[in-house]
Amino acid sequence: MKKIVSLLSVFMAILAGALFVMMSRPAPDPGIFLPSIDGGTVQVHLRRGDLAMEWLLDLDEFVRSKDLPPSGLNELIPFVGRGSLQAELDLPEGLSDRFFLALEVIEVPKAMKLSQTLKDEAVRRGWEALPLEAALPQEIAPLFVLVRDDFKSYWGLWRRRAGSVILVASSIEDLASMVPEGVLPVRQTSGSNWARLDLPRFPSSDDHRGFSSEWSLSRTDERISLSSWNNGHEVYLSQDGLSDLAEIGEIPLYGGGKLAALAAFTGSSTVSPPDEIMESLLDEESRLLLDGWISLVQNLGISWEDIVAALEGRMSFVLGSNASGLMGPMPGGYVLFEGVSPDLGRKIVDCLAPLNLPFGAGPLKKAGWKGGLSCKFPLTAVLAYGDRGLLAGVFDPDDIDRRPTVPERISDSVGKARHLAFSVDVRGLLAILETYRSMASLLDDDLASILGSFMEILSPWDKFELYTPSIGRSELLLYRLRN
């Protein structure tokens, strides 16, 4: 008998301990309070909701009317945990009025005080606060309704001993649906703060999955990482298009000098968009503008197919090439359109040749290029076409096939085959901007001031590098300058 009592005592102790753990464990991820929506959605998930609130308060301090004293939220921010937001998309117009917000608060008393402070702050700013009297699930306590014009937000509180979640929705029915039974999307990126976009199937795709994209942010003392993923290549590209991206080569470099910044983008290898897609994506004013532009280039002998082929190829932008002008040597740059055929390149040059070009301009005659224009005075410039595409930039024509020096700090992200690229040697870019700022100060003080402000923004950073481990995935790394 004593043995049975002892066993019952142990069992009861274990059961009591389990119940205590269940009652006191932290609140679940706020993301599971977001209900499933059939249409398009945008979701934002924050690991540090307190930081987001600090940013919002900083913004509020900047835009708030001087007649309003500061809010009392600062003292409550340390009790804010994770946060999740979901907004419904009403395509093609954009965001609808339907939204859901879940904000974790570490202690229940603090949650009540935080919600009350938010309500008081809204009332000070012209909102009307009404009592919320509605039937909600047992675990959701009604708080209040905020009303301004035709916009309403319904507030409730999901409570647990060790944590609670403030719930906000655009209707009482949506608030009642915010029970912790949702399923978070399968993560495609690794950052702790992340956002996701899900769109239904567009007319331009026969794939039933629609389009999805995810972005995430993580940060350390050394760098900030921005990761992204999307399934656009699977949904919108043909197998030939995927093969073209997979077989793309290393980004060519021209113009000599010292590379400071490189950006490249590759369009999709698809057929020209049919009229019905253009009709669905553009408003009437934009269509008229596009039609006028197409008519203009067609009068120059350039077809819509020529334009589409040019946009389907890789486009590269480079800064740091070797150039000179009236004020002496200076850093230059160029853009390369690899999708421009020799025939289209010739048409473009033929359109420019009759114009009143600078005194030093003339035909370009360089091995490996089929033709073009070049200039050495008053500014070195090049427009060249051939099998390698169309090259246009400010650099010395004699350096057209001279590869620029690549700084060691960005060499790993430059000399590789890739369809998407972004590499910036911030130290080298600042040196270039200082040259431009000095030149601008002789002509326009406002422009010089703008360049100086931009340099201040860049000064804490060392380099920016974009890595593309596979089609549809990328990671942008922003490295801080080491002391």
108 conformational bin, left if phi > 0, alpha if psi -120 to 50, beta if neither: alpha
Residues 200 and 57: beta-carbon distance below 8 Å: no
The whole-chain average pLDDT of the chain stands at: 83
What average pLDDT does this structure show over 89-118?
Answer: 82
Q: Which of 68-77, 257-266, 470-479 has the lowest mean pLDDT?
A: 68-77
157's tokens: 């509180």
* Number of continuous H segments (helices) and E segments (strands) in the chain: 12, 20
What average pLDDT does this structure show over 264-292?
Answer: 64
What average pLDDT does this structure show over 268-279?
Answer: 52
- Statement: the pTM of the whole predicted model exceeds 0.85: no
pLDDT at 20 > cutoff 50 = no
pLDDT value of position 167: 96
Using CB atoms within 10 A of its CB, is residue 373 exposed (0-12), middle (13-18) or buried (19+)?
Answer: buried
pLDDT at 211 > cutoff 90 = no
Tell me the per-residue pLDDT of 379-394, one tens digit each, with 9 for 90 and over. Answer: 999 999 999 999 999 9
Grade residue 374 by pLDDT with cuts at 50, 70 and 90: very high
What average pLDDT does this structure show over 66-83?
Answer: 76
Tell me the per-residue pLDDT of 414-427, one tens digit each, with 9 for 90 and over. Answer: 877 788 899 999 99
For residue 310, how many other CB atoms are within 10 A of its CB?
A: 21
241's tokens: 């298009």
Beta carbons within 8 Å of 396's beta carbon, 6+ residues apart? 255, 256, 322, 323, 324, 376, 380
**Nearest one of 424, 428, 400, 435 to 256, comparing CA atoms:** 400
pLDDT at 48 > cutoff 70 = yes
Rounded Cα distance, 333 and 320, in Å: 6
